[in-house]
Structure 1
Amino acid sequence: MNLSIVIVNWNTRSLLRACLRSLEAAGDLAHVEHEILVIDNASADGSAEMTRQEFPGATLIANQSNLGYAAATNQGLAAAQGECILLLNPDTEVPSGALRVLMETLAAHPEAAAVAPRLVDPDGTVQRSVRGFPAPWPLLAELSGLARLFPRSRRLGAYRMRYWNHDDERGVDQPMASCLLIRREALEAVGPMDEEFPIFGNDADWCYRARAAGWSIYFTPHAEIVHHGGASTSQVRRAMLRETERGLTHFYRKHYRGRAGTLGYLLALLAIHAGTAARILAYDARAALGGRPPAGSSVGREKERARP
């Protein structure tokens, strides 16, 4: 089998329907031996029933409880039979040609463990979906505001990469896994998602491990995917702030403890915890005043904000 598409869903029935319909309409799969696996994390909105009734060709794994993103993704990876595995969020829509370009790009770079497309808002605005790894000093430059003061600096801006417009194909550190095509050979070498990152950080961790094992990760702007963003996580915004902190802290302890300088390591951890506390205070204050973030804001796009 050429391709397995793994979609993890939680309470996004309408978006999941649109995602699955876009895969059907795109036409890229017509001549590709493929399977679509939907792993539903105990949704209460009828997502599993909709998938079963409207998309009988998809394989549905309906969990009885919410296992989290990493564990559910690993269920899909374990069941997948394709030589390539596409991790796809349910809040995406796949235009015609995008899957073909992703598969061609992966084939053109045998050293690549995975390739990611350019993500865009429904209005076509390019999302900043690629970051560097959050090493201590680039992260501190970001949290202190220095990276924003000098947005063209590659040293200070190594984490958020504001100096780059996502307009050329290149090797990168960590693209968002909202749409990520993975080579089976690389998956078998690197292993599945680390379930110690149940919600956030698992994709960054996987890319870090792939890079450490000698693989490359590629980004191509020649494939574009519409990404609505944060459809599941924005439903439980306050809890996700803590999950952000948990994921980033675990990433640091796993990959930087004993490898980064002690001062930078400790300052970065302190900044992570202080930043989370400040965001929770701001969220609680907004909630007390009856305010909500506008649709499509950086607060609403939780997955993008929360990545390590």
Structure 2
Amino acid sequence: FLAKQARYARIRAETLVRQGRRPRRRTYLGQPARELWRRFVTLQGYRDGSVGLFLAIAMAWHELHTWLLARRLWRAADRNGTGRRDVPAGWPAGVELPEASLDLSVVIVSYNVREHVLGCLETVYASLRGSGLRGQVIVVDNASSDGTVEAVRAAFPGVEVIANRENRGFAAANNQGIRRARGRVVVLLNPDTRVASDALGRLVRYLDENPAVGVVGPRLVYPDGRTQPSRRRFPTLLTGFLESTVVQDYWRDNRVLRRYYVADRSDDETQEVDWLVGACLAVRREAIETAGLLDERFFLYSEEVEWCWRIRRAGWRVVYLPEATIYHHESASAGQEPAARQIAFDTAKVQLYRRLHGRPAAEILRAFLLVNYLARIAIEGSKWLLGHKRALRRERIARYWRAFGSGLRPTRP
């Protein structure tokens, strides 16, 4: 425990320097005192008697240790003339969030899924009541036309609603909610989910008990009870040419995709992973402050992959926790516009490859995906000629032709 806390103190100290936050004289007394109060009183550590007192004192000491390390790093930076540690070029910068005054903040982004949002909010509040957590719920609506904003305000007056006048995209809308978050843990939750019993409490407790973990995600379950695969490794150069392409349609069982989908491990055990499907992610506040917000250049899809990649590079772990369960109706918002979904998915994939593997790899992947559309058009056209479900074939040909015509180039910043 003490070793983990020492490592965590080092990570936080580097974060403070990176954000340009210098300790002042009162910091060395005020911050440890605040942490002692939070652990022993606010989080009710007094219920555990002497053990709770010991842990509260230990955490207060490590808070002091953090700021002493930060002072040492600042002095070294000043001697070297660097002044502060800059964020690498092209990365979203670290961010300072509002002061944490709650256990968690739940951020839900909606787009024309009114009934899903209302059902999700019911289970969120039930989970908060059952866990005893003090929480904040934020709904960011991306210009829905189905009355989502009015319905949420009427049914859940305690929800903070941000009503955008245009669809700003999933990453940008989540960032709007994160900037208002007052919880020490921020949970990004899809509107087409249902929270099972104490899932939120389990996620928050796991982060409390594992200070080196920056992100933890639950088991995702389809409405019929099947586990939805949500664990992933970062894509290799080959992954993009197989995953969700015509190649995977005819060659599903291959070593590259088994690695990508973490098929060598059971989804019934807690495990560290590279990234998790973003239907529900519980993120430690300090991890967000270290790595920055979601990259808003990703309009839809792959934003959680890039974010987890950045969070891991900042020294945090990402963990899958199957004992917490979230039911997920997959792609409720995106599924409304199949062609737009296809374009967004593959455009984001190209953007991700540019970040992870460089521009040449991304451009090769872009060209391959465009050829992939032509191959799909040929396959669907041959089925149409054979008279097999011609209406469906026409719809798919139109979808792939539209995707091909897009060039898979992002139209938003």
TM score, norm. by length of structure 2: 0.64
Aligned to 1:134: 235
Q: Distance in 2 between matches of 1:57 and 1:93?
A: 19
- Give a deviation string over 1:74-103, Cα, whole Å, max 9, x none: 100111111100000000000111111111
How many equivalent pairs are there?
285
Paired with 1:4 and 1:14, the residues of 2 have a C-alpha distance of 22
Aligned to 1:216: 317
Aligned to 2:369: 272
What amino acid is aligned across from residue 234 of structure 1 in structure 2?
G
> How far apart are residue 22 of structure 1 and its match?
1.0
Q: Does the alignment pair 1:172 with 2:273?
A: yes
2:240 touches 2:349 (CA, 8 Å); kept in 1?
A: no
CA RMSD of aligned residues (A): 2.6
User: Equivalents in 1 of 2:251, 2:157: separation in Å?
Assistant: 49
Q: Which residue of 2 aligns with 1:159?
A: 260
Name structure 2 gaps, 5 residues minimum.
Answer: 1-101, 394-413
**Structure 1 residue 30 displacement after superposition:** 5.8
What corresponds to 2:14 in structure 1? none
Q: Structure 1 pair 267/34, CA: closer, same or farther in 2 (3 Å)?
A: same
Q: How does 1:248-263 map to 2 (within 5 A)?
A: 248-257=349-358
CA contact (8 A) 1:147 1:157 kept: no
| Distance in 1 separating the partners of 2:157 and 2:355 | 41
Do the aligned residues in 2 keep the contact of 1:12 with 1:45 (CA within 8 Å)? Answer: yes
Q: Per the alignment, do residues 214 and 276 of structure 1 end up closer, same or farther by CA in structure 2, a change over 3 Å counting?
A: farther
Amino acid at match of 2:192: D
1:206-250 deviation per Cα after TM superposition (whole angstroms, max 9, x unaligned): 001111122110101111100011110001110111111210111
> By how many angstroms is 1:135 displaced?
1.5
Q: What's the CA shift for 1:265?
A: 6.4
Q: Could you tell me how far 1:123 is from its partner in structure 2?
A: 1.2
Runs of 4+ off more than 6 Å: 280-286
The answer on 1:188 being equivalent to 2:292 is no
Alignment partner of 1:62: what SS? strand
Amino acid at match of 1:193: L
The residue aligned with 1:77 is 178
Q: 2:374 and 2:313 mapped to 1: Cα distance?
A: 32
C-alpha distance in structure 1 between counterparts of 2:140 and 2:258, whole Å: 36
Question: 1:266 deviation in Å?
Answer: 6.2
- 8 Å Cα contact 1:245/1:276 also seen in 2: no
Inter-partner Cα distance in structure 1 for 2:377 and 2:295? 26
| Counterpart in the other structure of 2:138 | 37
User: How far, CA to CA, are the matches of 2:317 and 2:363 in structure 1?
Assistant: 29
Q: Which of 119, 131, 138 is equivalent to 2:220?
A: 119
Report the counterpart of residue 149 of structure 1 in structure 2: 253
Task: Report if aligned partners of 2:215, 2:318 keep a CA contact under 8 Å in 1.
Answer: yes
* Cα 1:101–1:50 shift into 2, 3 Å: same
For 1:213 and 1:124, the matched residues in 2 are separated by: 35
- Cα shift at 1:26: 3.0
TM-score (norm 1): 0.84
Deviation at 1:141, TM superposition (A): 5.5
Contact 2:127–2:201, Cα closer than 8 Å, also in 1: no
Once the two structures are TM-superposed, the CA of residue 283 in structure 1 deviates from its matched residue by 7.9
Structure 1 CA distance for aligned equivalents of residues 333 and 240 of structure 2 = 26
Residue 296 (structure 1) aligns with: none
| Separation in 1, partners of 2:370, 2:251 | 19
Identity over the aligned pairs, expressed in percent?
Answer: 36
Does the 8 Å contact 2:120/2:191 carry over to 1? yes
1:118, 1:102 → 2: CA distance?
11
Q: Which has the larger radius of gyration?
A: 2
1:46 equivalenced with 2:150 (yes/no) = no
2: CA distance between counterparts of 1:22 and 1:234? 23
Task: Give the CA deviation at 1:132.
Answer: 1.3
* Structure 1 residues 103 and 147: alpha-carbon distance in aligned structure 2, compared to 1, 3 A threshold: farther
CA distance in 2 between counterparts of 1:227 and 1:280 reads: 31
CA change 1:5–1:277 in 2 (3 A) is farther
Compared CA separation, residues 282 and 223, structure 1 to 2 (3 A): farther
| Structure 1 residue matching 2:226: 3-state secondary structure | coil
Counterpart of 1:135 in structure 2: which amino acid?
T
Task: Please tell me the residue identity of whatever aligns with 1:96.
Answer: S
Hey, what's the Cα distance between the residues in 2 that align with 1:227 and 1:268? 30
Matched, 1:3 2:104: yes
Q: 1:183 to 1:147 in 2, by over 3 A?
A: farther
CA-CA distance at 1:61 after TM superposition: 0.5
Aligned match of 2:42: none
Matches within 5 A, 1:15-26: 15-26=116-127
Describe the SS at the equivalent of 1:158: helix
More helix by share: 2
1:306 counterpart residue number: none
Equivalence for 1:12: 113
Equivalent AA in structure 1 for residue 214 of structure 2: A
